[in-house]
Amino acid sequence: MTGLKISVSGIRGIWGESLNIESLSGFIKAFVIFLKNRNCSGILIGRDARPTGAVISSLVVGIMNAFGIDVLDCGIIPTPTVLFGVRKLMLGGGIIISASHNPIEWNALKFVIRDGIFPGEEEIKLINSYIGMDIRESPYDRIGRNKKNKTVEEMHINAILNNISVSAIKDMHFRIVLDPVNSAGCRIGQKLLEKLGCEVRLVNGEINGSFGRGPEPIPSNLVHMTPAVREFNADAGFAMDPDADRLVLVDEKGAVLSEEMTFALCADHVLSLKRGDIVTNYSTSMLSDWIAGKYGVHCYRTKVGEANVTAGIFNHKAVIGGEGNGGIIYPAINPARDSLAGMALILEMMAKRNKHLSELTYELPHYFMLKEKIETPLTAEIIFGRIKKEFPNAVIDDTDGIRLDWDEKGARIWIHIRPSNTEPVFRIIGESSDENLLKSNLGLARELMIRQ
């Protein structure tokens, strides 16, 4: 359907345009068929706080019930908590209503399958193949039921507390500034931190979906966290996106860290406690490779997208995985990007090593990274053809878009170009130990992507 972004990251669109009652109904009914073919009789649903969430939630409940599927409705709740709940309650699936980091006029359906994971590319194709297929409503005496669920948040918190050293964190009496961007992480984020003995100051803490800053937790949207951390004399600041699956850190000096640092620090901490391989995507910093080398394990890479990284974790029996956008996947707690688990791991790392966040960050190598979104009328085929011709010395990997890796002037450099899963743009990301080298090569790649 024109204008919708359909991928392992969900079915996304702008409300009232590509995302409307007709398009939503078609996908929901298709998911009904998918679920019924797997003998699923009940699902869990949750949403972020954006204004269109309640309307879409009502539509999901109505259609599911009409075709005989029970719904446990958790209301406004983090994406990782829905995934946790589907698995913990042994349900056949779920639906999350959230466009994550997209602007407020966007929304999305994110389907969840058995075991609390997102469907992969093949399963998305299968669901899409059911769109428009006839399906009859259940008889009046077999329609599904709708029940509210208020217990999954507490279950999620308890799972986190059971897998970290709570006493070590409590002994530190941390002071934390939390920015859950007026959405799903407000209540549960504060509750978790307080159970860890933290004194918490909320910024953008009212659950109203108005998004008091840009929804994506990137440094440019978090400049307000610097004075907030300093004024509160905080040990750290934590910032989430609207559905609370991504986490960005602010150190005790008020410096907003790159979103790449979240996975790097969590991976370093987990591997210090338990050896095992790690998994990340092709767009994530080579800090992951350095950390894997430090502990003598392997770093596997997958296509971008939580479903792909999670599948990689299962396939390689990895102890932790994640993405450079602030996504932490710690399967001992939850095989999903989980900002709440991420906060607990960072606090545990600070407590066990008795170091400030700035000190922990300083111990890692420093690389330069640039991330851009490019709007272009050119096709991927044309762009990738030009790139391959212009960078003949690079090692090419076309598993996910195109990634180039090479050494130049004694420095390692990589560039990854791919169509976005969530927006109608191309993403271009590059990294090197040499800033000038990175800028010149990324500039050349950018020019090749837009030149007519």
Active site (catalytic) residues? 100
Distance CA 451, CA 330 (A): 42
> Counting Cβ atoms within 10 Å, is residue 39 exposed (0-12), middle (13-18) or buried (19+)?
exposed
Q: For residue 237, list its beta bridge partners.
A: 177, 250
Please, what's the largest Cα pairwise distance for the chain?
73
Residue 127: closest CA among 218, 11, 287: 11
Whole-angstrom CA distances from 48 to 193, 225, 316, 323, 342 are: 20, 22, 32, 21, 19
Query: Could you tell me where the beta strands, DSSP code E, fall in 276-316?
Result: 278-281, 299-302
Q: For residue 179, list its beta bridge partners.
A: 239
Distance CA 111, CA 134 (A): 20
Whole-angstrom CA distances from 210 to 59, 122, 152, 355, 431 are: 22, 35, 25, 36, 34
Distance CA 143, CA 69 (A): 7
Q: Taking a C-beta distance cutoff of 8 angstroms, is the pair 268, 322 a contact?
A: no
β-strands 327-329, 368-374: how paired? Answer: unpaired
